[in-house]
Chains A and B, each alone.
Chain A
Amino acid sequence: MAVSSATCRMLSTSGILGYGFPESSLELGMARGIHMLGVDGGSTDPGPHYLGSGKTLNSRRAMRRDLQLMLRAARKHGVPLVIGTCGGAGGAPHVAMTADIVRALAAEDGLHFRLATIDAEQDKATLKRAHGEGRMARLPGGPTPDPAAIDRSERIVAMMGPEPIAAALDGGAEVVLAGRSSDPAPWAALAMRNGLPPAPAWYAGKMLECGATPAVPKGHDCLLVDVDGDSVILEPAAPERRCTPSSVANHSLHENPSPCIHVEPGGILDTTDCLFEAVSDRAVRVSGMTWQKQPYTVKLEGAELAGYRAITVCGTRDPLLIATRDDFLARVRDAVAQKAAALGVEPDEYRLIIRRYGVDGVMGPAEPLRDARPHEIGFVIEVVASDQETADSVLALARVTMLHTDFPGRLCREGNMAFPYSPSDISTGPVYRFSVFQTMALDDPLAPFPIHYEDL
Protein backbone atom coordinates (compact mmCIF):
# COMPACT_ATOMS: atom_id res chain seq x y z
CA MET A 1 0.00 0.00 0.00
CA ALA A 2 2.40 2.72 -1.17
CA VAL A 3 0.84 6.14 -1.62
CA SER A 4 1.55 7.75 -4.99
CA SER A 5 0.20 10.97 -6.39
CA ALA A 6 -2.46 9.02 -8.30
CA THR A 7 -3.93 7.52 -5.18
CA CYS A 8 -5.49 8.76 -2.02
CA ARG A 9 -5.49 7.05 1.37
CA MET A 10 -8.20 7.78 3.91
CA LEU A 11 -9.12 6.61 7.37
CA SER A 12 -12.37 6.22 9.24
CA THR A 13 -12.43 5.70 12.99
CA SER A 14 -15.78 3.96 13.57
CA GLY A 15 -19.38 3.67 12.43
CA ILE A 16 -20.60 6.75 14.27
CA LEU A 17 -18.85 9.55 16.16
CA GLY A 18 -19.04 8.63 19.84
CA TYR A 19 -19.07 4.84 19.38
CA GLY A 20 -15.42 4.82 20.42
CA PHE A 21 -12.36 3.22 18.83
CA PRO A 22 -9.01 1.98 20.13
CA GLU A 23 -6.50 4.84 20.36
CA SER A 24 -3.78 2.42 19.22
CA SER A 25 -5.65 1.79 15.93
CA LEU A 26 -5.79 5.50 15.15
CA GLU A 27 -2.05 5.81 15.82
CA LEU A 28 -1.27 2.81 13.59
CA GLY A 29 -3.50 4.19 10.85
CA MET A 30 -2.04 7.71 11.01
CA ALA A 31 1.48 6.29 10.85
CA ARG A 32 0.63 4.82 7.44
CA GLY A 33 0.41 8.32 5.95
CA ILE A 34 -3.13 9.37 5.08
CA HIS A 35 -4.78 12.22 3.20
CA MET A 36 -7.84 12.57 5.42
CA LEU A 37 -9.54 11.13 8.44
CA GLY A 38 -13.22 11.20 9.07
CA VAL A 39 -16.18 9.59 10.69
CA ASP A 40 -19.87 9.46 9.98
CA GLY A 41 -21.96 11.04 12.70
CA GLY A 42 -25.34 9.35 12.35
CA SER A 43 -28.26 8.24 10.22
CA THR A 44 -32.01 7.68 10.42
CA ASP A 45 -31.37 4.21 11.82
CA PRO A 46 -32.01 5.01 15.51
CA GLY A 47 -35.43 6.40 14.58
CA PRO A 48 -37.07 9.82 14.28
CA HIS A 49 -36.51 11.04 17.84
CA TYR A 50 -33.13 12.71 17.32
CA LEU A 51 -34.15 14.64 14.24
CA GLY A 52 -37.40 15.71 15.89
CA SER A 53 -36.04 16.62 19.31
CA GLY A 54 -32.69 18.07 18.26
CA LYS A 55 -30.97 15.80 20.77
CA THR A 56 -27.85 13.81 19.94
CA LEU A 57 -27.74 10.03 19.64
CA ASN A 58 -24.46 9.61 21.50
CA SER A 59 -23.51 11.41 24.68
CA ARG A 60 -21.52 14.63 24.63
CA ARG A 61 -18.86 12.88 26.69
CA ALA A 62 -18.47 10.04 24.15
CA MET A 63 -18.34 12.43 21.18
CA ARG A 64 -15.83 14.60 22.99
CA ARG A 65 -13.54 11.62 23.63
CA ASP A 66 -13.52 10.56 19.97
CA LEU A 67 -13.19 14.15 18.71
CA GLN A 68 -10.24 14.92 20.96
CA LEU A 69 -8.20 12.01 19.65
CA MET A 70 -9.17 12.76 16.05
CA LEU A 71 -8.44 16.50 16.30
CA ARG A 72 -5.03 15.90 17.86
CA ALA A 73 -4.15 13.30 15.19
CA ALA A 74 -5.40 15.46 12.30
CA ARG A 75 -3.51 18.56 13.44
CA LYS A 76 -0.33 16.64 14.24
CA HIS A 77 -0.27 15.17 10.75
CA GLY A 78 -1.70 18.23 8.99
CA VAL A 79 -4.57 16.39 7.30
CA PRO A 80 -8.24 17.38 7.10
CA LEU A 81 -10.79 15.98 9.55
CA VAL A 82 -14.34 15.63 8.23
CA ILE A 83 -17.40 14.60 10.24
CA GLY A 84 -20.63 13.82 8.36
CA THR A 85 -24.18 13.98 9.80
CA CYS A 86 -23.03 15.61 13.03
CA GLY A 87 -24.79 14.68 16.25
CA GLY A 88 -26.80 11.77 14.85
CA ALA A 89 -29.37 13.59 12.72
CA GLY A 90 -27.41 16.46 11.19
CA GLY A 91 -29.82 19.28 12.04
CA ALA A 92 -28.79 22.75 13.22
CA PRO A 93 -28.70 21.87 16.96
CA HIS A 94 -26.65 18.75 16.21
CA VAL A 95 -24.04 20.68 14.22
CA ALA A 96 -24.00 23.42 16.86
CA MET A 97 -23.33 20.99 19.69
CA THR A 98 -20.55 19.25 17.77
CA ALA A 99 -18.97 22.62 16.92
CA ASP A 100 -19.22 23.62 20.56
CA ILE A 101 -17.23 20.52 21.57
CA VAL A 102 -14.63 21.18 18.85
CA ARG A 103 -14.15 24.81 19.96
CA ALA A 104 -13.69 23.73 23.58
CA LEU A 105 -11.18 21.04 22.59
CA ALA A 106 -9.24 23.43 20.37
CA ALA A 107 -8.93 25.87 23.28
CA GLU A 108 -8.01 23.12 25.73
CA ASP A 109 -5.32 21.60 23.49
CA GLY A 110 -4.09 24.92 22.05
CA LEU A 111 -4.94 23.85 18.49
CA HIS A 112 -5.45 26.40 15.73
CA PHE A 113 -7.25 25.63 12.50
CA ARG A 114 -9.95 26.80 10.14
CA LEU A 115 -13.27 25.23 11.06
CA ALA A 116 -16.14 24.94 8.60
CA THR A 117 -19.66 24.03 9.62
CA ILE A 118 -22.16 23.14 6.90
CA ASP A 119 -25.88 23.53 7.59
CA ALA A 120 -28.31 20.95 6.27
CA GLU A 121 -31.50 22.10 7.97
CA GLN A 122 -34.01 23.44 5.45
CA ASP A 123 -36.38 26.38 5.43
CA LYS A 124 -40.01 25.28 5.01
CA ALA A 125 -40.98 28.08 2.61
CA THR A 126 -38.11 27.17 0.27
CA LEU A 127 -39.11 23.53 0.36
CA LYS A 128 -42.74 24.31 -0.41
CA ARG A 129 -41.64 26.46 -3.33
CA ALA A 130 -39.56 23.55 -4.62
CA HIS A 131 -42.62 21.32 -4.20
CA GLY A 132 -44.63 23.75 -6.31
CA GLU A 133 -41.93 23.63 -8.97
CA GLY A 134 -42.32 19.85 -9.21
CA ARG A 135 -38.90 19.10 -7.74
CA MET A 136 -40.06 16.53 -5.19
CA ALA A 137 -40.24 12.78 -5.80
CA ARG A 138 -41.36 9.86 -3.67
CA LEU A 139 -38.83 7.29 -2.44
CA PRO A 140 -39.58 3.54 -2.35
CA GLY A 141 -41.76 2.81 0.69
CA GLY A 142 -41.88 6.47 1.71
CA PRO A 143 -44.82 8.86 1.85
CA THR A 144 -46.08 10.83 -1.14
CA PRO A 145 -44.54 14.34 -1.07
CA ASP A 146 -47.02 16.67 0.58
CA PRO A 147 -46.58 20.36 1.48
CA ALA A 148 -48.78 19.79 4.57
CA ALA A 149 -46.19 17.29 5.87
CA ILE A 150 -43.52 19.97 5.42
CA ASP A 151 -45.62 22.35 7.52
CA ARG A 152 -46.21 19.76 10.24
CA SER A 153 -42.54 18.88 10.59
CA GLU A 154 -40.51 19.89 13.60
CA ARG A 155 -37.30 19.82 11.58
CA ILE A 156 -36.33 18.90 8.01
CA VAL A 157 -32.82 18.21 6.78
CA ALA A 158 -31.50 17.65 3.29
CA MET A 159 -28.80 15.04 2.79
CA MET A 160 -25.82 16.70 1.13
CA GLY A 161 -23.55 15.02 -1.38
CA PRO A 162 -19.76 15.47 -1.46
CA GLU A 163 -19.89 18.90 -3.15
CA PRO A 164 -20.45 21.12 -0.08
CA ILE A 165 -17.71 19.25 1.82
CA ALA A 166 -15.30 19.64 -1.12
CA ALA A 167 -16.22 23.34 -1.26
CA ALA A 168 -15.41 23.74 2.45
CA LEU A 169 -12.01 22.11 1.87
CA ASP A 170 -11.50 24.46 -1.10
CA GLY A 171 -12.29 27.30 1.31
CA GLY A 172 -9.32 26.29 3.44
CA ALA A 173 -11.17 24.35 6.11
CA GLU A 174 -9.00 21.92 8.05
CA VAL A 175 -11.90 20.60 10.12
CA VAL A 176 -15.32 20.20 8.51
CA LEU A 177 -18.46 19.56 10.56
CA ALA A 178 -21.25 18.73 8.15
CA GLY A 179 -24.95 18.52 8.85
CA ARG A 180 -26.93 15.66 7.31
CA SER A 181 -24.75 14.10 4.64
CA SER A 182 -24.85 11.00 2.54
CA ASP A 183 -22.81 8.58 4.66
CA PRO A 184 -19.97 8.16 2.09
CA ALA A 185 -19.83 11.91 1.27
CA PRO A 186 -16.87 12.95 3.51
CA TRP A 187 -14.48 10.49 1.84
CA ALA A 188 -16.00 10.69 -1.65
CA ALA A 189 -15.48 14.47 -1.41
CA LEU A 190 -11.77 14.21 -0.69
CA ALA A 191 -11.11 11.48 -3.26
CA MET A 192 -12.90 13.36 -6.05
CA ARG A 193 -11.26 16.62 -5.04
CA ASN A 194 -7.93 14.81 -5.45
CA GLY A 195 -8.90 14.01 -9.03
CA LEU A 196 -10.14 10.45 -8.63
CA PRO A 197 -13.23 9.33 -10.54
CA PRO A 198 -16.64 9.07 -8.84
CA ALA A 199 -16.99 5.25 -8.97
CA PRO A 200 -14.01 4.30 -6.74
CA ALA A 201 -14.42 7.52 -4.71
CA TRP A 202 -18.03 6.67 -3.78
CA TYR A 203 -17.16 3.04 -3.23
CA ALA A 204 -14.39 4.05 -0.82
CA GLY A 205 -16.86 6.21 1.09
CA LYS A 206 -19.38 3.37 1.22
CA MET A 207 -16.79 1.17 2.89
CA LEU A 208 -15.43 3.84 5.24
CA GLU A 209 -18.80 5.06 6.54
CA CYS A 210 -19.05 2.12 8.96
CA GLY A 211 -15.47 2.07 10.23
CA ALA A 212 -14.06 -1.43 10.45
CA THR A 213 -17.43 -3.12 9.85
CA PRO A 214 -16.25 -4.56 6.48
CA ALA A 215 -13.51 -6.42 8.42
CA VAL A 216 -13.64 -9.48 10.65
CA PRO A 217 -13.96 -9.76 13.57
CA LYS A 218 -16.46 -6.89 13.63
CA GLY A 219 -16.04 -4.09 16.13
CA HIS A 220 -15.93 -0.32 16.48
CA ASP A 221 -12.50 0.32 15.02
CA CYS A 222 -10.52 2.10 12.28
CA LEU A 223 -10.44 1.27 8.56
CA LEU A 224 -7.92 2.43 5.94
CA VAL A 225 -8.92 2.67 2.28
CA ASP A 226 -6.66 3.44 -0.68
CA VAL A 227 -8.36 4.75 -3.81
CA ASP A 228 -6.85 4.81 -7.29
CA GLY A 229 -8.31 5.40 -10.75
CA ASP A 230 -10.35 2.21 -10.90
CA SER A 231 -10.20 0.36 -7.61
CA VAL A 232 -10.03 0.60 -3.83
CA ILE A 233 -8.01 -1.37 -1.30
CA LEU A 234 -9.42 -1.88 2.20
CA GLU A 235 -7.38 -2.77 5.26
CA PRO A 236 -8.33 -2.47 8.94
CA ALA A 237 -5.86 -0.49 11.06
CA ALA A 238 -5.86 -2.93 13.98
CA PRO A 239 -3.62 -5.95 13.30
CA GLU A 240 -6.07 -8.38 14.89
CA ARG A 241 -8.73 -7.60 12.26
CA ARG A 242 -8.64 -8.46 8.58
CA CYS A 243 -10.64 -7.80 5.44
CA THR A 244 -11.46 -10.83 3.32
CA PRO A 245 -13.11 -10.87 -0.11
CA SER A 246 -16.30 -12.22 1.47
CA SER A 247 -16.32 -9.79 4.43
CA VAL A 248 -15.98 -6.87 2.02
CA ALA A 249 -18.50 -8.19 -0.53
CA ASN A 250 -21.02 -8.76 2.23
CA HIS A 251 -20.71 -5.21 3.51
CA SER A 252 -22.65 -4.18 0.37
CA LEU A 253 -25.69 -5.89 1.90
CA HIS A 254 -25.68 -3.67 4.98
CA GLU A 255 -28.71 -1.32 5.24
CA ASN A 256 -29.10 -1.14 1.45
CA PRO A 257 -32.24 -2.16 -0.46
CA SER A 258 -29.98 -3.70 -3.12
CA PRO A 259 -26.38 -4.92 -2.80
CA CYS A 260 -25.64 -3.70 -6.33
CA ILE A 261 -27.52 -0.45 -6.99
CA HIS A 262 -26.75 2.44 -4.64
CA VAL A 263 -28.59 5.68 -5.36
CA GLU A 264 -26.58 8.72 -4.28
CA PRO A 265 -26.82 12.48 -4.91
CA GLY A 266 -26.02 12.96 -8.60
CA GLY A 267 -25.79 9.36 -9.65
CA ILE A 268 -25.95 5.64 -9.07
CA LEU A 269 -23.03 3.54 -7.85
CA ASP A 270 -23.39 0.14 -9.51
CA THR A 271 -21.45 -2.68 -7.84
CA THR A 272 -22.97 -5.54 -9.85
CA ASP A 273 -19.70 -6.43 -11.57
CA CYS A 274 -17.34 -5.84 -8.66
CA LEU A 275 -14.37 -8.13 -8.30
CA PHE A 276 -13.01 -8.82 -4.81
CA GLU A 277 -9.39 -10.01 -4.59
CA ALA A 278 -7.20 -10.57 -1.54
CA VAL A 279 -3.98 -8.56 -1.84
CA SER A 280 -2.72 -9.89 1.50
CA ASP A 281 -4.26 -11.88 4.31
CA ARG A 282 -5.66 -8.59 5.68
CA ALA A 283 -6.31 -6.38 2.66
CA VAL A 284 -8.77 -6.66 -0.24
CA ARG A 285 -8.84 -4.91 -3.59
CA VAL A 286 -12.26 -4.15 -5.11
CA SER A 287 -12.57 -3.17 -8.76
CA GLY A 288 -15.27 -3.08 -11.42
CA MET A 289 -17.61 -0.54 -9.81
CA THR A 290 -19.29 1.96 -12.14
CA TRP A 291 -20.95 5.36 -11.69
CA GLN A 292 -23.94 6.40 -13.75
CA LYS A 293 -24.53 10.11 -13.61
CA GLN A 294 -28.17 11.09 -12.90
CA PRO A 295 -30.03 14.36 -12.46
CA TYR A 296 -28.88 15.82 -9.13
CA THR A 297 -31.23 15.06 -6.22
CA VAL A 298 -30.89 15.12 -2.46
CA LYS A 299 -32.94 13.21 0.07
CA LEU A 300 -35.09 15.16 2.53
CA GLU A 301 -35.81 13.80 6.00
CA GLY A 302 -38.34 15.39 8.32
CA ALA A 303 -39.79 14.47 11.71
CA GLU A 304 -43.04 15.65 13.23
CA LEU A 305 -44.43 15.52 16.76
CA ALA A 306 -46.75 12.51 17.17
CA GLY A 307 -47.70 13.15 20.81
CA TYR A 308 -46.39 12.44 24.29
CA ARG A 309 -45.76 8.97 25.69
CA ALA A 310 -46.00 7.24 29.05
CA ILE A 311 -45.11 3.57 29.59
CA THR A 312 -45.11 0.90 32.25
CA VAL A 313 -43.53 -2.55 32.33
CA CYS A 314 -45.07 -5.64 33.96
CA GLY A 315 -45.38 -9.39 33.56
CA THR A 316 -47.65 -12.31 34.31
CA ARG A 317 -46.72 -15.84 35.38
CA ASP A 318 -50.33 -16.96 35.63
CA PRO A 319 -51.17 -19.83 33.23
CA LEU A 320 -54.91 -19.16 33.51
CA LEU A 321 -54.48 -15.55 32.40
CA ILE A 322 -52.00 -16.56 29.70
CA ALA A 323 -54.53 -19.08 28.30
CA THR A 324 -57.13 -16.33 27.85
CA ARG A 325 -54.77 -13.42 27.15
CA ASP A 326 -56.59 -12.03 24.09
CA ASP A 327 -59.91 -11.84 25.93
CA PHE A 328 -58.19 -10.39 28.99
CA LEU A 329 -56.52 -7.61 27.01
CA ALA A 330 -59.77 -6.79 25.20
CA ARG A 331 -61.42 -6.48 28.60
CA VAL A 332 -58.60 -4.21 29.80
CA ARG A 333 -58.98 -1.95 26.75
CA ASP A 334 -62.74 -1.59 27.32
CA ALA A 335 -62.27 -0.83 31.01
CA VAL A 336 -59.56 1.75 30.29
CA ALA A 337 -61.84 3.44 27.75
CA GLN A 338 -64.61 3.71 30.32
CA LYS A 339 -62.36 5.01 33.08
CA ALA A 340 -60.67 7.49 30.74
CA ALA A 341 -64.06 8.78 29.57
CA ALA A 342 -64.90 9.42 33.21
CA LEU A 343 -61.84 11.70 33.30
CA GLY A 344 -63.04 13.46 30.16
CA VAL A 345 -60.63 11.67 27.80
CA GLU A 346 -62.40 10.18 24.78
CA PRO A 347 -61.04 7.08 22.96
CA ASP A 348 -59.82 9.15 19.98
CA GLU A 349 -57.71 11.33 22.30
CA TYR A 350 -55.19 8.64 23.18
CA ARG A 351 -53.58 5.53 21.73
CA LEU A 352 -53.15 2.49 24.01
CA ILE A 353 -50.55 -0.01 22.79
CA ILE A 354 -49.96 -3.23 24.72
CA ARG A 355 -46.78 -5.07 23.74
CA ARG A 356 -46.65 -8.75 24.67
CA TYR A 357 -43.09 -10.02 25.01
CA GLY A 358 -43.09 -13.81 24.86
CA VAL A 359 -46.04 -13.77 22.42
CA ASP A 360 -45.50 -11.29 19.59
CA GLY A 361 -43.61 -8.36 21.13
CA VAL A 362 -40.83 -8.47 18.54
CA MET A 363 -42.73 -9.14 15.31
CA GLY A 364 -46.25 -7.92 16.10
CA PRO A 365 -48.93 -9.03 13.62
CA ALA A 366 -46.20 -10.55 11.38
CA GLU A 367 -45.36 -13.17 14.05
CA PRO A 368 -45.99 -16.62 12.50
CA LEU A 369 -46.10 -18.58 15.82
CA ARG A 370 -49.45 -17.23 16.96
CA ASP A 371 -50.53 -20.15 19.15
CA ALA A 372 -47.43 -20.64 21.30
CA ARG A 373 -48.18 -20.97 25.02
CA PRO A 374 -45.40 -19.28 26.99
CA HIS A 375 -45.05 -19.79 30.76
CA GLU A 376 -44.79 -16.04 31.30
CA ILE A 377 -45.52 -12.90 29.27
CA GLY A 378 -43.85 -9.52 29.66
CA PHE A 379 -45.95 -6.47 28.87
CA VAL A 380 -44.92 -2.97 27.92
CA ILE A 381 -48.00 -0.81 28.17
CA GLU A 382 -47.87 2.48 26.35
CA VAL A 383 -50.18 5.45 26.05
CA VAL A 384 -49.60 8.27 23.57
CA ALA A 385 -51.74 11.41 23.79
CA SER A 386 -51.51 15.01 22.65
CA ASP A 387 -50.07 16.15 25.96
CA GLN A 388 -48.02 14.50 28.69
CA GLU A 389 -50.60 14.94 31.44
CA THR A 390 -53.26 13.08 29.43
CA ALA A 391 -50.81 10.31 28.53
CA ASP A 392 -49.75 9.93 32.17
CA SER A 393 -53.37 9.89 33.38
CA VAL A 394 -54.54 7.22 30.94
CA LEU A 395 -51.39 5.15 31.48
CA ALA A 396 -52.07 5.14 35.23
CA LEU A 397 -55.56 3.81 34.51
CA ALA A 398 -54.16 1.15 32.17
CA ARG A 399 -51.62 0.07 34.81
CA VAL A 400 -54.20 -0.45 37.53
CA THR A 401 -56.62 -2.10 35.10
CA MET A 402 -53.95 -4.62 34.02
CA LEU A 403 -53.32 -5.32 37.71
CA HIS A 404 -56.89 -5.85 38.89
CA THR A 405 -59.15 -6.80 35.96
CA ASP A 406 -61.06 -10.01 36.61
CA PHE A 407 -61.03 -12.89 34.12
CA PRO A 408 -62.84 -16.27 33.98
CA GLY A 409 -61.22 -18.84 36.27
CA ARG A 410 -59.08 -16.23 38.02
CA LEU A 411 -57.35 -17.50 41.17
CA CYS A 412 -54.74 -14.72 41.55
CA ARG A 413 -57.15 -12.36 43.21
CA GLU A 414 -54.55 -10.01 44.69
CA GLY A 415 -53.21 -8.93 41.32
CA ASN A 416 -52.55 -10.12 37.75
CA MET A 417 -49.20 -8.49 37.09
CA ALA A 418 -45.71 -8.38 38.59
CA PHE A 419 -44.34 -4.82 38.39
CA PRO A 420 -40.56 -4.60 38.69
CA TYR A 421 -40.40 -0.90 39.51
CA SER A 422 -41.76 1.68 41.90
CA PRO A 423 -42.67 4.13 40.52
CA SER A 424 -44.17 1.89 37.87
CA ASP A 425 -45.15 4.61 35.41
CA ILE A 426 -42.57 6.38 33.24
CA SER A 427 -43.22 9.59 31.30
CA THR A 428 -41.01 9.39 28.23
CA GLY A 429 -41.86 12.80 26.76
CA PRO A 430 -42.40 13.82 23.15
CA VAL A 431 -42.74 11.18 20.46
CA TYR A 432 -41.75 11.92 16.87
CA ARG A 433 -42.39 10.17 13.58
CA PHE A 434 -40.83 10.52 10.16
CA SER A 435 -43.04 12.93 8.24
CA VAL A 436 -40.93 13.77 5.17
CA PHE A 437 -38.84 11.20 3.32
CA GLN A 438 -38.44 12.05 -0.36
CA THR A 439 -36.01 13.49 -2.88
CA MET A 440 -35.67 17.06 -4.11
CA ALA A 441 -34.08 17.92 -7.46
CA LEU A 442 -31.39 20.61 -7.30
CA ASP A 443 -29.78 22.81 -9.93
CA ASP A 444 -26.87 23.58 -7.60
CA PRO A 445 -25.61 20.88 -5.19
CA LEU A 446 -24.29 23.65 -2.90
CA ALA A 447 -27.41 25.81 -2.67
CA PRO A 448 -29.20 24.25 0.33
CA PHE A 449 -26.00 23.85 2.35
CA PRO A 450 -24.48 27.15 3.53
CA ILE A 451 -20.90 26.94 4.77
CA HIS A 452 -19.67 29.01 7.73
CA TYR A 453 -15.96 29.42 8.45
CA GLU A 454 -14.22 30.42 11.65
CA ASP A 455 -10.52 30.52 12.45
CA LEU A 456 -9.79 29.00 15.82
Chain B
Amino acid sequence: MAAIRDIAKVCKSKNAGPFQLTIDVVFETRAQYDSVAATGVLNAELIGRLYGVEPDEVLFTPYPAGLAFKATIPRAIPAGDLGDTDVYGCQQHAPLLDVDIPVNWPAAER
Protein backbone atom coordinates (compact mmCIF):
# COMPACT_ATOMS: atom_id res chain seq x y z
CA MET B 1 0.00 0.00 0.00
CA ALA B 2 1.16 3.53 -0.71
CA ALA B 3 -0.59 6.86 -0.20
CA ILE B 4 -0.95 9.14 -3.21
CA ARG B 5 1.00 11.83 -1.35
CA ASP B 6 4.01 9.47 -1.36
CA ILE B 7 3.88 8.21 -4.95
CA ALA B 8 2.37 10.94 -7.18
CA LYS B 9 4.41 13.60 -8.95
CA VAL B 10 1.50 16.06 -8.96
CA CYS B 11 -1.84 16.15 -7.13
CA LYS B 12 -3.79 19.35 -7.75
CA SER B 13 -7.19 20.94 -8.20
CA LYS B 14 -8.37 23.95 -10.20
CA ASN B 15 -11.47 25.54 -11.67
CA ALA B 16 -12.56 24.28 -15.06
CA GLY B 17 -14.75 27.33 -15.55
CA PRO B 18 -16.73 28.80 -12.64
CA PHE B 19 -19.12 25.88 -12.29
CA GLN B 20 -16.75 22.90 -12.36
CA LEU B 21 -13.74 21.77 -10.39
CA THR B 22 -11.08 19.55 -11.94
CA ILE B 23 -8.64 17.36 -10.03
CA ASP B 24 -5.46 15.83 -11.48
CA VAL B 25 -3.10 13.13 -10.24
CA VAL B 26 0.07 12.75 -12.31
CA PHE B 27 2.77 10.06 -12.05
CA GLU B 28 6.43 10.15 -12.99
CA THR B 29 6.82 7.09 -15.19
CA ARG B 30 4.68 5.01 -17.52
CA ALA B 31 5.27 1.94 -15.35
CA GLN B 32 3.96 3.79 -12.30
CA TYR B 33 0.94 5.10 -14.20
CA ASP B 34 0.15 1.63 -15.54
CA SER B 35 0.43 -0.04 -12.15
CA VAL B 36 -1.86 2.56 -10.55
CA ALA B 37 -4.33 2.22 -13.44
CA ALA B 38 -4.29 -1.57 -13.01
CA THR B 39 -5.43 -1.31 -9.38
CA GLY B 40 -8.62 0.44 -10.49
CA VAL B 41 -8.70 2.42 -7.22
CA LEU B 42 -8.86 5.80 -8.97
CA ASN B 43 -12.30 6.02 -10.54
CA ALA B 44 -15.49 8.04 -10.58
CA GLU B 45 -16.90 6.24 -7.52
CA LEU B 46 -13.88 7.18 -5.38
CA ILE B 47 -14.04 10.83 -6.45
CA GLY B 48 -17.78 10.90 -5.83
CA ARG B 49 -17.29 9.51 -2.32
CA LEU B 50 -14.44 11.90 -1.45
CA TYR B 51 -16.24 15.01 -2.72
CA GLY B 52 -19.85 14.18 -1.91
CA VAL B 53 -21.13 14.01 -5.49
CA GLU B 54 -22.86 11.22 -7.40
CA PRO B 55 -20.50 9.07 -9.51
CA ASP B 56 -22.49 9.92 -12.64
CA GLU B 57 -21.67 13.59 -12.04
CA VAL B 58 -17.93 12.81 -12.20
CA LEU B 59 -16.19 13.07 -15.56
CA PHE B 60 -13.26 10.69 -15.01
CA THR B 61 -10.55 10.53 -17.69
CA PRO B 62 -7.43 8.37 -17.57
CA TYR B 63 -4.85 10.28 -19.64
CA PRO B 64 -1.95 7.97 -20.44
CA ALA B 65 -0.23 10.57 -22.68
CA GLY B 66 0.21 12.75 -19.58
CA LEU B 67 0.63 9.81 -17.14
CA ALA B 68 -2.34 11.35 -15.40
CA PHE B 69 -5.84 10.73 -14.10
CA LYS B 70 -8.32 13.59 -14.29
CA ALA B 71 -11.66 13.98 -12.55
CA THR B 72 -14.03 16.89 -13.11
CA ILE B 73 -16.96 17.50 -10.77
CA PRO B 74 -19.65 20.16 -10.39
CA ARG B 75 -18.83 22.83 -7.80
CA ALA B 76 -21.15 22.88 -4.78
CA ILE B 77 -21.04 26.71 -4.99
CA PRO B 78 -20.00 28.51 -8.21
CA ALA B 79 -16.64 30.33 -8.07
CA GLY B 80 -16.95 33.60 -6.20
CA ASP B 81 -20.63 33.15 -5.30
CA LEU B 82 -21.77 33.74 -1.71
CA GLY B 83 -20.25 31.13 0.57
CA ASP B 84 -17.60 29.92 -1.88
CA THR B 85 -14.37 29.12 -0.03
CA ASP B 86 -11.92 28.86 -2.94
CA VAL B 87 -12.39 31.20 -5.91
CA TYR B 88 -9.61 29.58 -7.97
CA GLY B 89 -10.46 26.05 -6.79
CA CYS B 90 -6.80 25.27 -6.25
CA GLN B 91 -6.92 23.93 -2.67
CA GLN B 92 -9.46 21.12 -3.00
CA HIS B 93 -7.02 18.29 -3.67
CA ALA B 94 -6.16 17.27 -0.09
CA PRO B 95 -8.69 14.41 0.33
CA LEU B 96 -6.92 12.55 -2.48
CA LEU B 97 -3.48 12.76 -0.85
CA ASP B 98 -4.32 10.12 1.74
CA VAL B 99 -5.93 7.63 -0.65
CA ASP B 100 -4.06 4.33 -0.47
CA ILE B 101 -3.15 2.59 -3.70
CA PRO B 102 -2.28 -1.13 -3.45
CA VAL B 103 1.05 -0.96 -5.23
CA ASN B 104 4.42 -2.16 -3.96
CA TRP B 105 7.01 -0.19 -5.81
CA PRO B 106 10.64 -0.46 -4.87
CA ALA B 107 11.51 2.46 -2.60
CA ALA B 108 13.78 3.87 -5.30
CA GLU B 109 10.82 4.34 -7.62
CA ARG B 110 8.83 6.41 -5.16
Query: B62-110: which residues lie under 8 A (CB-CB) from chain A?
Result: 63, 65-68, 70, 72, 74-83, 85-88, 91-92, 94-95
Distance from B31 Cβ to chain A, minimum over Cβ atoms (Å) = 14
Contacts of A252 in B (CB 8 A): 63, 65-66
Distance from B103 Cβ to chain A, minimum over Cβ atoms (Å) = 20
Contacts of A255 in B (CB 8 A): 14-17, 22
| Nearest B-chain residue to A141, judged by Cβ | B19
Among B17, B50, B80, contact of A432 (Cβ-Cβ < 8 Å): B80
Given A432-B80, A433-B81, A434-B79, A253-B63 contact (CB < 8 Å) = yes
Contacts of A139 in B (CB 8 A): 17, 19
- On whether the beta carbons of B19 and A433 are closer than 8 Å, the reply is no
| Nearest A-chain residue to B80, judged by Cβ | A47
Distance from A180 Cβ to chain B, minimum over Cβ atoms (Å) = 13
Q: Is B32 an interface residue (CB 8 A)?
A: no
Docked pose: A161 CA to B108 CA in angstroms: 48
Given A49-B80, A434-B78, A434-B81, A260-B92 contact (CB < 8 Å) = no
Among B26, B59, B82, contact of A258 (Cβ-Cβ < 8 Å): B59
- On whether the beta carbons of B66 and A249 are closer than 8 Å, the reply is yes
**What are the interface flags for A197-215 relative to B under an 8 Å C-beta threshold, 1 for contact and 0 otherwise?**
0000000000000000000
Distance from A287 Cβ to chain B, minimum over Cβ atoms (Å) = 12
Q: Is A254 an interface residue (CB 8 A)?
A: yes
| Nearest B-chain residue to A361, judged by Cβ | B85
Among A47, A276, A353, A437, contact of B65 (Cβ-Cβ < 8 Å): A276
Docked pose: A353 CA to B65 CA in angstroms: 43
- On whether the beta carbons of A257 and B20 are closer than 8 Å, the reply is yes
| Nearest A-chain residue to B83, judged by Cβ | A353
Docked pose: A140 CA to B22 CA in angstroms: 13
- On whether the beta carbons of A141 and B68 are closer than 8 Å, the reply is no
Query: A110-143: which residues lie under 8 A (CB-CB) from chain B?
Result: 139-142
Docked pose: A362 CA to B70 CA in angstroms: 21
Among B66, B67, B76, B92, contact of A365 (Cβ-Cβ < 8 Å): B76
Docked pose: A259 CA to B81 CA in angstroms: 26
- On whether the beta carbons of A141 and B20 are closer than 8 Å, the reply is yes
Docked pose: A306 CA to B76 CA in angstroms: 18
Docked pose: A355 CA to B51 CA in angstroms: 19
**What are the interface flags for B24-47 relative to A under an 8 Å C-beta threshold, 1 for contact and 0 otherwise?**
101000000000000000000000
> Which 6 residue pairs spanning A and B have beta carbons closest together?
A47-B80, A141-B19, A249-B66, A257-B72, A141-B74, A259-B63
Known contacts A255-B15, A255-B22, A257-B59; 13 further A-B pairs (Cβ under 8 A): A46-B87, A48-B81, A141-B74, A249-B67, A271-B65, A363-B91, A364-B85, A365-B76, A366-B51, A368-B95, A433-B78, A437-B17, A437-B19
Name 28 A/B residue pairs within 8 A (Cβ), A-sorted.
Answer: A44-B17, A46-B87, A140-B19, A141-B17, A246-B67, A250-B10, A250-B24, A252-B65, A252-B66, A253-B63, A253-B68, A253-B70, A254-B14, A255-B15, A257-B22, A257-B59, A257-B72, A258-B61, A259-B63, A259-B68, A259-B70, A306-B81, A306-B82, A351-B82, A362-B86, A363-B91, A366-B52, A432-B80
B-to-A contact residues, CB < 8 Å: 10, 14-20, 22, 24, 26, 50-52, 59, 61, 63, 65-68, 70, 72, 74-83, 85-88, 91-92, 94-95
A-to-B contact residues, CB < 8 Å: 44-49, 139-142, 246, 249-250, 252-260, 271, 274, 276, 306-307, 351, 353, 355, 361-366, 368, 384, 431-434, 437
